[in-house]
Amino acid sequence: MKIDIGISEDDRKKIAEGLIRLLSDTYTLYLKTHNFHWNVEGPMFNTLHLMFEQQYIEIWAAVDEIAERIRTLGVYVPANFAKYNEYNPEPKDNEMIKRLVEGQETVIKTAREVFKIADAASDQSTVDLLTRRMEIHEKNAWMLRSLLS
């Protein structure tokens, strides 16, 4: 059945393409955060282990929300692991933090790009999702950067 939600098919496809990039970045960050949760060592173990756990649980929920928004727009969600090719089982805690800050910032920048497309198409639902994601990832990046001071 044709989708008639007040957003043109062309705009829905453009927004979904952006959300697919966001999903990829978010899923990559999820995997990295979960991996670091399992493998963190050192004097900051407890702090980082708990922080990483809180973050990967929240990110996992976001993956589902982003994927469901893509489907709501009438586009199928691709799933592959091609982008997640980093494996380093023994990075030091500060290196883990730096990599996670970079991952958080990647998600933020992608969300900002998609925001422009969704806003131009008057897709308030996607704009709301993106605003929440940016707020969460900006806070996570700040909290992680604070550990490096």
* CATH code of the domain in which 135 resides: 1.20.1260.10
Please state the rounded mean pLDDT for residues 72-100: 77
Residue 43 lies in a domain: yes
pLDDT of residue 83 exceeding 90, the answer is no
Residue 50 lies in a domain: yes
Domain span at residue 128? 27-76+87-146
Residue 71 lies in a domain: yes
Residue 18 lies in a domain: no
Query: How sure is the predictor about 86, in pLDDT bands with cuts at 50, 70 and 90?
Result: low
- Work out how many domains the chain is built from and give that number: 1
Q: What is the DSSP string of 95-142?
A: HHHHHHHHHHHHHHHHHHHHHHHHHHTT-HHHHHHHHHHHHHHHHHHH
pLDDT of residue 88 exceeding 60, the answer is no
